[in-house]
Amino acid sequence: MTKILVTGMGIISAIGVGKTPTVQSLLNGKSGIGRIKHLKTKHLELPVGEVSCDDEELKIIAGYKSSLPITRTSLLGRVAIKEALEDADIDNRRPRKMAFISGTTVGGMEKSEQYYHDFLNNDLHNDYISLHDCGACTDVIAKQYEGKFDMVTTISTACSSAANAIILGANLIKAGYVDAAIVGGTECLSKFHLNGFNTLMILDTDKCKPFDKNRKGLNLGEGAAYLVIESEESMLQRKIKPLCELSGYGNACDAFHQTASSSDGEGAYRAIMQALEMSGLSAKDIDYINAHGTGTGNNDESEGAAIMRAFGNNIPPVSSTKSFTGHTTSAAGGVESVISVLAILNDFIPANLNFSEKIETLSFSPVKECVHEAKLSHVMTNSFGFGGNDSSCVFSKL
């Protein structure tokens, strides 16, 4: 079977614009969760992982010079894809055929909610009407690179969207449809989903405490991250140095409840087992799990149960970096895949911040402090979404 290699990455989140500041924040235990600065909401009591730049600053970083309107979701995506494409030197050494697959769910909602009454009552902001849907956000990102991509699509499976984009991209490469794919996701904060999660009573009014006995919920975050993945043949032909291998992945459905996860983590367990099987690895080979770990009562218990079922007595170090970035929802699978690869490349295990007491039903505690000089051969990252859309990816050192 075709080997899938990661040859470039780009990331933007509350802990930094780009890979270097992201690694620094993770190594120094510097969380990006704080008070709301840009999002127009009255829920200022809720801590979030907001990207520090406003839209105008993002435009500069992304090199967006057009006067055409653009949503924050697309802007974040443009910042991340720019870094990823440069990292993989796509401009100078083009892969033969390339796909762009992006995950998002919020799409243009952050602008729609601001201008919704204008949409209905006047013509002041009509431009944003066409930018509302998920696909529009992807097309606006792709437009900058017209001529580079052979196909473009959008995945919307809520909080596992970006992980599923990675899976589709890898399958397209294996089937010979494309030689390379830019995969990941982008999502900005919106009043819509902040209030949505708030009505579900799963937002912590303090900093989130993933895998802690007294966890109160998640903090929403925003960001974007993309990976350039390609076949070994394409990598050799382009003479580009790979960062690591995407050695396995799995997708399964919990089929339990629209917003809650089953107590035995059936969907998560299946996704994890599939990813392990595809990578040809056994539980003891995984050196670190970057957990979905939202910090809600339900997720962490269910995910913990799935990890216990899959790993038994060989549970590797586990941490949730959502304690740094907040839950970047549709981008999370991308953000956390990039973080997992950065951990492999920089020999560390990121901490699970704000943890103090173990969940009684779980056999393990997360990693409290950043582990330096950790030699990681294989890292698993989990992404689970509403509707039981569970996915898991394994990245391996070369």
Partner 1 sequence: MNIYIQAASQISTQEPLNEKWFDTPSYPDKILNESIDPDFKAYIPVMIARRMGNLLKRGIVTSVDALNKCSLNGDNLQAVITGTGLGCIENTEHFLNAVLDNEESCLQPTFFIQSTHNTISSQIALFIKCHGYNTTYSHRGTSFDSCLLDAFVQMKLGLISNALVGGHDEMTPSYFTLLQKVGYWKNTPLTDENFHAADTRGSISGNASLSMVMANMKVPYSLCQMRTVEMLYAPTMQEIKAKIDCMLEANGMKLADVDAVVMGLSGDKDNDNVYKNIMSEVTRDIPVMCYKHIFGESFCASAYGVYTAATAIAKKRVPSHLLYSSRKEILNPRNILVFNHFHNIDHSLILLSCPD
Binding site for partner 1 (CB under 8 A): 41-43, 100, 105, 107, 109, 112-113, 116-117, 119-120, 123, 126, 129-130, 133-136, 138-139, 142, 146-147, 149-158, 164, 167-168, 171-172, 174-175, 177, 191-193, 195-196, 198-200, 251-259, 266-267, 270, 385-389
CB of 143 to partner 1, least distance (A): 8
Q: What are the φ and ψ backbone dihedral angles of 25, each rounded to 5 degrees? A: -60, -40
CB of 334 to partner 1, least distance (A): 15
Residue with tokens 């055409």: 68
CB of 221 to partner 1, least distance (A): 17
CB of 96 to partner 1, least distance (A): 14
Measured CA to CA, the distance from residue 104 to residue 74 in angstroms comes to 10
Measured CA to CA, the distance from residue 266 to residue 275 in angstroms comes to 14
5 vs 252 by CB, closer to partner 1: 252
Cα 67 from chain centre: 29
CB of 325 to partner 1, least distance (A): 20
Q: Select from 11, 8, 60 the least CA-distant residue to 325.
A: 11
Q: What are the φ and ψ backbone dihedral angles of 312, each rounded to 5 degrees? A: 50, -120
Measured CA to CA, the distance from residue 83 to residue 97 in angstroms comes to 20
Q: What are the φ and ψ backbone dihedral angles of 379, each rounded to 5 degrees? A: -125, 135
199 vs 313 by CB, closer to partner 1: 199
Residues whose CB falls within 8 Å of the CB of residue 83, separated by 6 or more in sequence, listed in order: 9, 10, 11, 12, 18, 19
Q: Select from 318, 320, 269, 266 the least CA-distant residue to 296.
A: 320
242 vs 267 by CB, closer to partner 1: 267
Identify the H or E element spanning 301: helix 297-311
Identify the H or E element spanning 187: strand 180-187
Half-sphere exposure of 376 (CA within 13 A, CB side): 32
Measured CA to CA, the distance from residue 95 to residue 75 in angstroms comes to 25
CB of 112 to partner 1, least distance (A): 7
Other CB atoms within 10 A of residue 116 CB? 16
Question: Following DSSP, what letter does each residue of 113-148 receive, concatenated?
Answer: HHHHHHHHH-STTGGGTTT-SHHHHHHHHHHTTTTT
CB of 42 to partner 1, least distance (A): 5
CB of 172 to partner 1, least distance (A): 6
Sign of CA dihedral 57, 58, 63, 65: negative
CB of 195 to partner 1, least distance (A): 5
Measured CA to CA, the distance from residue 392 to residue 381 in angstroms comes to 6
CB of 281 to partner 1, least distance (A): 18
21 vs 196 by CB, closer to partner 1: 196
129 vs 374 by CB, closer to partner 1: 129
